[in-house]
Amino acid sequence: MLPFSISTLCLMLTACGGGSNNIDEDPRVKPEDTTAVGCTIASSSDSCFPFMLEYPIAGIQYTCSSDTINTFKTQVNGNSVTGGCDKGDTITFFLNANDTSRVELGSVKLSKLGQVSTDDSPVHLTTLDMAEGLTGQAATSLEQSDATVKVALDLIKIFQAIGHQKTDSNVIGDVQPISLSSTSLEGLSNITQKVDLTAYQNGQYAAILKPWIDVTQISDTEAMAVLKQAINITLGAVYQADPPILITVTDGMIGYSGTGDNKNTLLGSFFLLSDRQGYTQGYGLQWRGKPTVTSETIASAIDLIKTANPIFMYASSQQNWINPINDRIGTVDKFKFVTSNNENLFINQGRLINDYMAAGSETLYKYITGEDSAPANDLAKWTMSTGSENYAGVVDFVKAYPISYLDRHVFRSIKNINPGEKYYFPLYATLRFKVTSEQTFKDVDLGIVIDEFGDIRTDIKAGATDTDMSGQCGTVDNSQVNLVDNYGVTQYRIGTVSATNYQPNQNDYAIAIRMILSGTQFNTLDGVLLGLSGTVLGNSGVITVNSGGAKINLYSLLTNENGNINLTNYSNGVAQWVNIYNNYKAIYAQAAENPVLTDKEKDQIARLTGTVSVSLASCYARGQVKP
């Protein structure tokens, strides 16, 4: 699987990779079929640049420009498909048909993807990247009229046709892994012309490939939907800004208002989760005031964590967080947080660099890009008005916890199975939260549904109470930003399924889940993270708040008529939730001089972590047959 947990600090380093892609090829041999990637990833070498294909197809051939001898193939690497070349190389993708013809799939300069990539967190190489390698021009809009997008749709049609016609009967419209084999490639050798840019542009590629696959079975509309689905998977992750003391090379989120004696500092952090349908939601914290350390340094701002009561920032579900065409922030709408004081903080601009970080400071930008200067509009900046004060600042944040495709052997959705087969998603369930504390708290039930796309929303019944927010299997229109179910109850996007694990020999059909509960509607669960971990600054230094991950095993449900599900951490122990907001409240309560706490805040600082279990909702219908 893709790593369920990626250390923010590790993402800052170039040597975090492991050795799962190691090869040592004999340069005298030119292999026709090799499963090796095009460079060696080892602790002693930092020249390799691994990549992960956005559309997971193992067996695509490619060459690295610095290697004039070998031909390589992409390979399955856990829950992803990867390859690699030396930094600075140009990769050329293709499928050899015969001695005279081959299918061109584009050439990509690794320098365009970034300067840093590791085995633990490889940079995505997207279908749009491949299409740009064919057309020679970047897409300017995600529209069918764009010349590069049109070629990307042609590539999607090829990939979809292979999956539907040549493999495990994948359903058109779903992104599933494909492993090219002698069976799936049967017929390719019969094509008589090459497929190049001209063939894509004039549409002749469809007729050329007809001896192998029929791409006309996939419409432009279906291909565009799949392209957007793949893009959402690539952007699907947790975007996390930490206080700078946790990562010394970043400034975190910091800004100021006023000047001289009237100057105030704002220090912030946030957790945002982007899901499979392109929505982003989560929460953040901010500390405001005058640090007791008077010098204008990051260290002085850190002082606020111990002296200022943290203020909650809610981020409701929003679209267009990051533009997939240019990786820019705020090109359509400015991303908005709303504080518990009803103040708006906007992230106005920035760019996701190397598929893993946005830089607010020029120093960090130059560090991660190798450039001598930073374009002003590439830096991540934010503003906030409180009525009496106008704050402005910068933010450094990382993209962590990437998501992957959902294997249809495990994630059996009405969207990815054939007629006559049984589906289990949407899946309705109830989560039960318990608090680990010396005090006694009532358990809290929360109804959820894991929908047919693999995203998670609430399923809360009408008349819910603080401790009983279980559901009644309501349905919603997922195309709407604001969700209201068929019972007239407002529901909320709260998470996504990040990956699947298909190991039938171990009775393990698991889905990994990630959730962020943000909003007063969640009452005492406000600020809870499930399947995620974090770090906070305590009185004795940095404290890791580790949930151990969260996965739901579906084996019993999928193999028994009356089967059930269970929720554990990744080590098959008891699943835990954590609350970063409450942890920082507790730090303030302990460190501040004579803190004044409300009864609600006193309750919060006792709700730092706990356990969580799951059960199927009584209204859930197991294993329905698709008409």
Q: Is the pLDDT of residue 227 over 60?
A: yes
The answer to whether the Cα torsion of 230, 231, 232, 238 is positive or negative is positive
Burial code (b: 16+ CB inside 10 Å, e: under 16) for 510-519 equals bbbbbbbbbb
Please give the Cα distance from 407 to 81 (Å, whole number): 13
**Claim: this prediction has a pTM higher than 0.95:** no
**Mean per-residue pLDDT, 449-472:** 98
CA angle, 579 then 580 then 581, to 5°: 90
Reading the block at residue 253, the tokens are 């989120």
Phi/psi for 245 (5° steps) reads -70, -20
Convert the pLDDT of each residue in 470-508 to its tens digit.
Answer: 999 999 999 999 999 999 999 999 999 999 999 999 999
Q: What is the pLDDT of residue 44?
A: 38
Amino acid residing at 511: I
Burial code (b: 16+ CB inside 10 Å, e: under 16) for 586-620 equals bbbbeeeeeeeeeeebeebbebbbbbbebbbbeeb
Q: What is the pLDDT of residue 220?
A: 97
Q: What is the pLDDT of residue 318?
A: 97
How sure is the predictor about 23, in pLDDT bands with cuts at 50, 70 and 90?
very low
Q: Is the pLDDT of residue 2 over 50?
A: no
Q: What is the pLDDT of residue 293?
A: 67
Provide the CA 349 distance to its chain's centre, in angstroms.
20
Q: Is the pLDDT of residue 154 over 90?
A: yes
Higher pLDDT, 111 or 38: 111
DSSP letter, residue 425: B
Q: What is the pLDDT of residue 299?
A: 64
Burial of 136 by CB count in 10 Å (0-12 exposed, 13-18 middle, 19+ buried)?
A: exposed
DSSP letter, residue 626: P
Mean pLDDT of the chain, nearest integer: 89
Report the chain's terminal Cα–Cα distance, integer Å: 32
Q: Are 311 and 287 spatial neighbours (Cβ–Cβ below 8 Å)?
A: yes
Query: Mapping DSSP to helix (H, G, I), strand (E, B) and coil, where does residue 224 land?
Result: helix
Q: Are 82 and 91 spatial neighbours (Cβ–Cβ below 8 Å)?
A: no
CA angle, 220 then 222 then 226, to 5°: 115
Q: What is the pLDDT of residue 372?
A: 92
- Point out the least confidently predicted range of 256-260, 323-327, 534-538, 559-563: 534-538
Residue from 134, 162, 159, 160 nearest 148 by CA: 134
Q: How far is residue 227 from each of residues 172, 410, 613, measured CA to CA in Å?
A: 12, 22, 35
Pairing, β 483-484 against β 427-435: unpaired
Phi/psi for 404 (5° steps) reads -135, 180
Please give the Cα distance from 470 to 431 (Å, whole number): 8
At which residue do the structure tokens 């819910």 appear?
A: 464
Convert the pLDDT of each residue in 385-437 to its tens digit.
Answer: 998 999 999 999 999 989 999 999 999 999 999 999 999 999 999 999 999 98
- Point out the least confidently predicted range of 135-139, 386-390, 459-463, 541-545: 541-545
